[in-house]
Amino acid sequence: MKVSKIGIVEDSPALATSLREALAGEFPGAQVLAWTSAAEFVGSLGQLAAEQLPQVVLMDIGLETPHAGIEATRWLAQAHPGIQAIMLTCHDDDEAIFEAFKGGAVGYLIKEAPVEAVARAIIEVAEGGTVIAPGVARRAIAFFQWLAQEKKLPQGLATRPNPPANGSSGPLSDRELEVLGLIGAGQTYQQVADRLCVSLHTIKTHMNNIFKKLQVANKLQALQKAKLSR
């Protein structure tokens, strides 16, 4: 897929400018838009025509409040599900990044990442893939296990016929759990594919399915909480 429209939400003007210029070089002819706050991003996006909307957005987690980027990502997933969000962080904050993934993000990058790595991540998520950190994968496993143990498996998610009483991963299949565990151990998608003797495409498909389940589970869990609080 050709990437022709990219968005940047970053409260550091210097970094936003640097990223914008670098990405213009990596994606010649692409439109690169930048916003300095979550509020500005949300307000501006509603004024853009469909053909002007970015395909991928690089979203700083912090912005004007510590988790403004996460909230903006949740809004984006609801309002514009076709736009893919990659979270930008200054350090490995697995908890915050995981919350962003639950909210709809599909990628994660350290702000100091080389522009080539940023470009690869943009292409990956634009083509329907994910870019995650090992800590996020481990938190995903823990989240699904918690759902199973608390018997809070959201309706509509397929579960294994007879999940084990201890350590159940709930909606995850045995192979999905295996793949996520290897990613959590620090292996790359290619290394996991080689170890399991499958194609790289198969591993990417497993990861995409896992994070679709993660986002659905998170949404339904939130709805359940809302009903209980009434």
Lowest average pLDDT, out of 40-54, 87-101, 148-162, goes to 148-162
pLDDT reported for residue 213: 87
* Chain centroid, CA 53 distance in Å: 19
Query: Long-range contacts of range 65-69, CB-CB < 8 Å, 24 or more positions apart?
Result: 67/96, 67/99, 68/37, 68/38, 68/39, 69/9, 69/38, 69/100
The C-alpha atoms of residue 125 and residue 7 are separated, in whole angstroms, by 13
If pLDDT is split at 50, 70 and 90, which confidence band does 229 have? Answer: very low
**% of the chain residues with pLDDT over 70:** 85
Write down the pTM of the prediction. Answer: 0.82
Strand ranges (DSSP E) for 135-208? none
What's the pLDDT tens digit per position in 31-41? 999 999 999 99
Average pLDDT value for the chain:
84
Which is more confident, 215 or 4? 4
Q: Give the model confidence (pLDDT) of 176-221 as tens digits.
A: 999 999 999 989 999 999 999 999 999 999 998 898 888 887 777 6
What confidence score (pLDDT) does residue 224 get?
Answer: 62
The predicted pLDDT at position 225 comes to: 55
The predicted model gives 141-166 an average pLDDT of 57
- Give the model's pLDDT for residue 155: 46
Average pLDDT over residues 111-125: 91
Q: What are the extents of the domains in the chain?
A: 5-126, 134-229
Residue 120: what pLDDT? 92
| 159 has pLDDT over 60 | no
- Cβ-in-10-Å burial (0-12, 13-18, 19+) of 23 comes to buried
**Superfamily assignment of 5-126 in CATH?**
Response regulator (3.40.50.2300)
Instruction: State the DSSP H helix or E strand holding residue 6, giving kind and residue range, or none if neither.
Output: strand 5-9
CATH code for residues 134-229? 1.10.10.10
Task: Find the mean pLDDT for residues 111-134.
Answer: 90
Measured CA to CA, the distance from residue 87 to residue 9 in angstroms comes to 10
Q: Give the mean model confidence (pLDDT) for residues 137-155.
A: 74
- Answer with the residue of higher pLDDT: 221 or 156: 221
Residue among 111, 51, 47, 41 nearest 72 (CA) = 41
Q: How far apart are the first and last CA of the chain?
A: 45
